[in-house]
Structure 1
């Protein structure tokens, strides 16, 4: 099936079956490798003399031409030019990198997509170590501004983020609005001993950035002995302040808690064993459906240390994290790199996917059985990627409701794996956010929390840019719904403390939720007047989920108070 697309302006009134055997729900999860069929044929190749040549291969997902189909940017490694595969909407892609002006031959490290200037077009940040001639003298990072006309312009120099540094010093970037001023700030990582590249950049709102690593309190925390791989902006404890997870090698990962005043504090000790891992990849989700965010980190599994390897950090109610990977069966990821948390079989529980070095066994798909118990189903579900995977992204490239996967191979062919999910109980929902009417919110709702209720389950996802090792994935929130055909409600909690709730949402569609221009614009007509008051009262009297503004599942005086405050702008 193909997703239908619905645009919502404002408020409105069991397991896997495969070769291992079936379940009552009857989902059949099967992957097919379709790189040639889709036209995404890239052989990543990096000059062997380059530093860290064995660590890289990646790209980024984004709808770069705003046609409703996800496109794919791929870094070729330096021997060939980078590629920009524009989705044709028929299951195939065409490389348009030359026409768009980004067919650069360079030693690309990582790529991230985000609308950093808020003009409605997806831009690209590319970490580069310079020309891939085997002995580069330092690279300049790239910031490709999407001009909205089928071209990009590199403005990294004028934006102040080019950062000419050691050849292998710059590694990755992530975007998030840490100061809640409505534009996307940037965090960049570095790996070498000098580590000048572990920096926080504040977006000035005029296509320039300012290095605020010092004023933010991060200088002493992240620039000494932190071999940065993957940064991620997320309000991990959901206290209203954006935090940073910095995944780094040699036991140097950091959990950096936002203090609400533009500064950060080191809370790494609250995440069990995070500072012992050879951290390389990051995935964020709610694996046990308890309404708290968890995260998964790739590392190295040593056969003589049974509990070594990848980490699954499960959040406790007090904001600390228990490490459960060994007990949950997801620690044995080999020499791990890219990781994902995504519901592949639409049973309502997020699977974990992990790439690794070429070790004679395929990359891992860990089936979520519930109760923090997982099973490796890579072989029976057909996900047979044996090469050395690095970057890893999920996206629904064919708009058929399920999530497909791209594995970026080190010195090998990029692998596109189509999810051919079938059978009953495979309903899904994709939620995308539109904040264009309210410029005080970050583009595409970055930092927002999306919750929904379907049947007896409540689900949670965050819009965080999906940064991963060398790569970044689809920006929307994807939910598996099982047999549920109607979602009771979808609630978007915006970064400014307001929310939008949509009731009675049909499954198998792309739902775009638009933040109204003003929190009090209840009927979404871009006006603030008595009609909004009338609409809210009617929804409240009808006990519509759209009027449960505090999200407690009740309709009380507290909701009326919240709405009056929103209406008055208090």
Structure 2
């Protein structure tokens, strides 16, 4: 991520168990050289460690901010010269329904241009697990408000996977919640059904479990959840999803690798939603005018309004990757008007006039 806004990618690394100050920043010096900064972010109060992070720009000031989560949540506001300030008490709600969180994703649930945050409650580690409640924080002009109850979220989980996509192309981003553990969380706990939360467009969601993206062998899966990633693998305009689990090597109850180890799965599920909604996907270059497009703001204008996306990953809570094809569902709109790309800090802005450009296609951004 470009934390100092100089156009190249810096690194945020998270350390291991029982390491104090285990979140480190490496500044990109150019020429494949990085420098470790002396002031890591994050408090020393995470136990046993910060489980993951989310990169966002919650106040839209052009500096990347970082959510850290584990047995609590912290929000660190980015400033100039790679400095960060803990603004948790000023910006986040004062209490949460469950203190353990596994992963997070940013989503503009209401197409208002600022990014809200979904956090999955509970944890599952190799030593067992803790179920918990999910949390949806609505961004209201740079301050987050807990709307979990009114949004009608699942009441229990322990999910390590969450992905954001407009699965039905109606113009509002939905959520795929994967890899939940049953309760009580233990080594013999099997997988709960994955859930799609369909965005109703009014800050509420409808839960679907009969979506077909959880086969019978996944329901009996006793390996450790590892996450998921929505992406349009066949480029048909309907966003698909890949779901994964990983090795459970702690059973030690039989012969074989590590005494009865269970190995995880990778499964790809094709989206077969059939409706009259249209879509428009923008293929974004890796860099423009010498600046990375990672975390750039992409805005698409249609006759019914604007939609906003951040370029990058849409389903990773402990990594930060680059998906260059940014998907928009546009509902019954039959035309698009304009697409605008702004790099971090707004140093480069590219506008493409789309009048006359057909919908239901992958469009390569020009600039």
TM-score (norm 2): 0.81
Matched, 1:180 2:23: no
Equivalent pair of 1:365/1:383 in contact (CA under 8 Å): no
Corresponding position of 2:71? 250
Please give the alpha-carbon distance, in whole angstroms, between the structure 2 residues aligned to 1:474 and 1:421.
22
Please give the alpha-carbon distance, in whole angstroms, between the structure 2 residues aligned to 1:415 and 1:225.
33
Superposition pairs of residues 449-464 of structure 1, within 5 angstroms? 449-464=297-312
> Offset at 1:496?
4.5
Structural RMSD (CA): 2.4
Equivalent pair of 1:351/1:366 in contact (CA under 8 Å): yes
> Offset at 1:358?
3.9
Corresponding position of 2:208? 377
Larger relative contact order, structure 1 or 2 (CA cutoff 8 Å, min sep 6) = 1
- The number of aligned residues is 323
Matched, 1:357 2:180: yes
Please give the alpha-carbon distance, in whole angstroms, between the structure 2 residues aligned to 1:481 and 1:340.
19
Structure 1 pair 275–424 and aligned structure 2 pair: CA distance change class (3 A): closer
Superposition pairs of residues 128-527 of structure 1, within 5 angstroms? 176-195=1-20, 197-214=22-39, 218-219=40-41, 221-225=42-46, 227-246=49-68, 248-251=69-72, 253-269=73-89, 270-272=91-93, 273=95, 277-300=99-122, 309-317=133-141, 319-359=142-182, 361-379=192-210, 381-384=211-214, 385-386=218-219, 387=221, 389-411=225-247, 412-425=264-277, 427-434=278-285, 436=287, 438-439=289-290, 441-442=291-292, 445-466=293-314, 468-470=316-318, 472=321, 474-497=323-346, 498-503=348-353, 504=355, 505-515=357-367
Identify unmatched segments of 5+ residues in structure 1: 1-175, 302-307, 516-570
Equivalent pair of 2:340/2:352 in contact (CA under 8 Å): yes
Q: Which has the higher helix share?
A: 1
> Offset at 1:469?
3.4
Structure 1 pair 178–403 and aligned structure 2 pair: CA distance change class (3 A): same
Q: What SS does the aligned partner of 1:261 have? A: helix
Structure with max Cα Rg: 1
Corresponding position of 1:529? none
Corresponding position of 1:42? none
1:295-343 Cα offsets, whole Å, 9 max, x none, are: 1111129xxxxxx6111111002x1101112221124351111111211
Equivalent pair of 2:165/2:314 in contact (CA under 8 Å): no
Please give the alpha-carbon distance, in whole angstroms, between the structure 2 residues aligned to 1:299 and 1:510.
35
Please give the alpha-carbon distance, in whole angstroms, between the structure 1 residues aligned to 2:150 and 2:331.
26
Q: What SS does the aligned partner of 2:160 have? A: strand
Equivalent pair of 2:311/2:323 in contact (CA under 8 Å): no
Corresponding position of 2:185? none
Q: What SS does the aligned partner of 1:298 have? A: strand
Corresponding position of 1:78? none
Equivalent pair of 1:391/1:470 in contact (CA under 8 Å): no
Equivalent pair of 1:234/1:464 in contact (CA under 8 Å): no
Structure 1 pair 467–254 and aligned structure 2 pair: CA distance change class (3 A): farther
**Worse-matched range after superposition: 405-414 or 221-230:** 221-230
> Offset at 1:361?
3.5
Q: Which has the higher strand share?
A: 2
Q: What SS does the aligned partner of 2:77 have? A: strand
Please give the alpha-carbon distance, in whole angstroms, between the structure 2 residues aligned to 1:368 and 1:242.
26
Equivalent pair of 1:347/1:482 in contact (CA under 8 Å): yes
Identify unmatched segments of 5+ residues in structure 2: 124-131, 183-190, 248-263
Ranges of 4+ aligned residues in structure 1 off by more than 6 Å: none
Please give the alpha-carbon distance, in whole angstroms, between the structure 2 residues aligned to 1:350 and 1:511.
20
Please give the alpha-carbon distance, in whole angstroms, between the structure 2 residues aligned to 1:461 and 1:421.
22
Structure 1 pair 196–260 and aligned structure 2 pair: CA distance change class (3 A): closer
> Offset at 1:348?
0.6
Structure 1 pair 429–277 and aligned structure 2 pair: CA distance change class (3 A): farther
Structure 1 pair 279–456 and aligned structure 2 pair: CA distance change class (3 A): same
1:437-457 Cα offsets, whole Å, 9 max, x none, are: 511x11xx1121111122313
Q: What SS does the aligned partner of 2:149 have? A: helix
Please give the alpha-carbon distance, in whole angstroms, between the structure 1 residues aligned to 2:106 and 2:324.
13
Please give the alpha-carbon distance, in whole angstroms, between the structure 2 residues aligned to 1:474 and 1:410.
23
1:413-445 Cα offsets, whole Å, 9 max, x none, are: 2111111122212x2122232254511x11xx1
1:485-538 Cα offsets, whole Å, 9 max, x none, are: 2111111122252422222242222222244xxxxxxxxxxxxxxxxxxxxxxx
Please give the alpha-carbon distance, in whole angstroms, between the structure 2 residues aligned to 1:436 and 1:357.
37
Q: What SS does the aligned partner of 2:336 have? A: strand
Structure 1 pair 182–357 and aligned structure 2 pair: CA distance change class (3 A): same
Equivalent pair of 2:3/2:63 in contact (CA under 8 Å): yes
